[in-house]
Structure 1
């Protein structure tokens, strides 16, 4: 059974896999940075009425599994995550990051990867819609 959420006029289950990459794929993310990023993202998700289900990363990128609600403009939310986290990380780890970015105000690449997650496979949904009775 799917974990459906409800708003006043809709029922939803929106889960996304988000990947953020450091600028120039520099391998600058350390364990303390991962811990701090998770704190930042948990706090931001609460403000946006979202849920951070899972979080982890490697030296040059991070992965998040997010549960969002349909009121959120996805690109605006991601832009906010990147902007706020970059500002905090650059401030909290300025000495470490200056070795990689030479004191430039940079942390994340402009690009990101966002994938939907969950539910039935596309082929099953397509078959279900094809089998619906037509109204004459």
Structure 2
């Protein structure tokens, strides 16, 4: 596992990028049990490894989940989200067939999601740093 504050290196870059993701069950139905959340955490962790990312933190309630993911710059967040939702939906249905009784139609996740970059210096500090650069005359 990677220390979430550790600067990582790629072939042509140095980075430390985190995203906070929130996925909501379709129609915010009370779907998830503690066992389902544990299954999701395992699935999300494996998907992140496939993307050379790390699931730093995970938790959820009956109708939504929060993830904190450390990811490389080559990863498109939308692709990561699609894989996370797709794999979790497929495996939850397989390991917890009772979930079908709680869903409206066949969809587990709402098609939308929340994503926010996080970590590092606040935006105001970065803006100030950029503004203070010595522009050549």
Q: TM-score, with normalisation over the residues of structure 1?
A: 0.93
Q: What's the C-alpha RMSD, in Å, of the aligned pairs?
A: 1.2
Q: SS state of the match for residue 20, structure 2?
A: strand
1:84 equivalenced with 2:87 (yes/no):
yes
Residue 128 of structure 2 corresponds to residue 123 of structure 1: no
Q: Which residue pairs with 2:33 in the alignment?
A: 30
What are structure 1's unaligned runs of at least 5 residues? none
Determine if contact 2:100/2:106 at 8 Å carries over to the other structure. Answer: no
The separation in 2 between residues aligned to 1:123 and 1:48, in whole angstroms, is 30
**Secondary structure of the equivalent of 1:99?**
helix
Aligned residues: 133
- Report the equivalent of 1:105: 106
Preserved contact between residue 31 and residue 63 of structure 2 (Cα < 8 Å): yes
CA distance in 1, matches of 2:68, 2:118: 9
Unaligned residue ranges in structure 2 (runs of 5+) = none
